[in-house]
Amino acid sequence: MKAAVYKADGRIVLEERQVPVIQDPRDAVIKVTLTTICSSDIHIKHGAVPRAVHDTVRGHEFVGIVEQTGDKVSRFRPGDRVAVNVETFCGECFYCRRGYVNNCTDKDGGWAMGCRIDGGQVEYVRVPFADNGLTLIPDTVTDEQALFVGDILSTGFWAAAMSEIKPADTVAVIGAGPTGLCTMMCARLYGPARIIAADTDEKRLELAVKEGISDVAVNPAMADAEKLVKDYTEGRGADAVLEAAGGNDTFELAWRMARPNAVVGIVAMYEEPQKLPLPDMYGKNLTFKTGGVDASCCSEIMKLIECGRLDTSCLITHRTKLENIMEAYDIFENKMDGVIKYAIQV
């Protein structure tokens, strides 16, 4: 079978691989039907994810059909259509019991697939802890609608929850790329007065406003984004700021946009260390929350898709087949041709 594999020299190549088999009774083998490329795949390619293992198959955002299950898998059976969670987790360790599945202490726990073990840019993939890491797709939900449940929608859902958004708040989201747009969609679930999107890409801002994902858009390269947020909030700043861009100056923009006592949620994956200039923010009494998603709410997200409260269909700007994934990597990495997300048919 064909698989997109990460090589030691930083290249990603399409090569032939053996179909995986069940290794543990809690495993399932999934026949991938639709997969995609995430910006984390690009971070791996840039060498910015030190724990990523060479010669593993890429991909951690995909949907498919259960092909085979281990003896201890009880919630799924062959033929089930499923969305696959970016994180595999045991459900039993200290962190899992508290919902912090990103830090599952099992050797295959946390973000393993497409990072430390084989992922889903491939025809078949082994998913450890299948009972925890799969979500049934209802018949009324298409593969495209379910494609982002396990990763960028989970990230947006987690980011919105940790930012403590209240009804009528002003929420600023930095980054109108795939994760930023999902973050805005999930922030909307909390009933904010307005969502302000900040990005330097005018096309992405246009999409955010046109689709009603954000109410206001600002390009910090062209306008004073901090001032604009203050203008909307009687000089205070945003009640919650979510930073999903990971640029050179976006961390600073995030805490500058925040009003005193706000939560600043950092979901971006930076490639370089960031400065936390405490003297400059003294007295703002900010709360910073950071990290990688705890993707443990996939069934809630699936329900919201099923009833029409979450709809990511406008994010899929490009469609192709697995054999063309190298070209897709090139277009996605270089943000060419107005790409937001690929749907890659397997």
Tell me which residues touch Zn ion (CB under 5 A): 38, 40, 89-90, 93, 96, 104, 109, 151
**Which of 96, 238 has the CB closer to Zn ion?**
96
Q: Which residues contact 25 (CB under 8 A, 6 or more apart)?
A: 70, 71, 72, 73
CB of 213 to Zn ion, least distance (A): 19
**Which of 90, 187 has the CB closer to Zn ion?**
90
CB of 36 to Zn ion, least distance (A): 9
CB of 94 to Zn ion, least distance (A): 8
What is the Cα–Cα distance from 32 to 68, expressed in whole angstroms?
12
What does the angle CA 98 – CA 303 – CA 83 come to, to the nearest 5 degrees? 75
What is the Cα–Cα distance from 126 to 109, expressed in whole angstroms?
14
CB of 37 to Zn ion, least distance (A): 9
Q: Which of 229, 243, 225 is nearest to 174 (CA)?
A: 243
What is the Cα–Cα distance from 260 to 104, expressed in whole angstroms?
34
Number of neighbouring beta carbons within 10 Å of residue 70:
17
**Which of 44, 218 has the CB closer to Zn ion?**
44
91 CB-contact burial (10 Å; exposed 0-12 / middle 13-18 / buried 19+): middle
CB of 92 to Zn ion, least distance (A): 6
**Which of 67, 151 has the CB closer to Zn ion?**
151
**Which of 93, 193 has the CB closer to Zn ion?**
93
